[in-house]
Amino acid sequence: ADVPLDSPPLEIPIRAAATTDLEAIRAIYNQGIEDRCATLETEPHDAAQIAAWWALHDDRYVVAVGEDPGGTIAGWASLNRFSHRCAHNAIADLSIYVARIRGSVIATQFKRGS
């Protein structure tokens, strides 16, 4: 459902992602691929591809998820290694993906670090 722009912000709990969240992360990422506006990828990712991506993340390159009031993963964010060159060691790329929820404030909360 649409959320009026003047509605009070919806607080979305954000927590560290777990392996049990990977299917939801994959589904949301694949929505971004289908929409052709969030990534340059053109083919949906399968569970093995998401598992390989997950293996690249650790305490430094974290993955976080946001849950809607019903406990469903509504979005995720990750810090990704920018480059394997040592000169870029202090640089990370930030990805934010939000499920198709009209009027969502989840992306804003990820950016704020809530």
Q: What is the pLDDT of residues 74-113, one digit of tens each?
A: 999 999 988 888 888 888 999 999 898 654 555 556 656 6
Q: What is the pLDDT of residues 20-58, one digit of tens each?
A: 999 999 999 999 888 877 788 889 999 999 999 999 998
**What's the CA gap between 54 and 110, in Å, rounded?**
19
Structure tokens at 105: 């404030």
Question: Structure pTM?
Answer: 0.77
* pLDDT value at 73 more than 80: yes
> CB neighbours of 107 closer than 8 A, spacing ≥ 6?
75, 96, 98
Single-letter amino acid, residue 92: A
Residue 97's H or E segment, with its range, is: strand 92-98
- The string over 23-53, giving b where at least 16 C-beta atoms fall within 10 Å of a residue's C-beta and e elsewhere, is ebbbebbbebbeeeebeeeeeebeeeebeeb
Mean pLDDT across the chain: 84
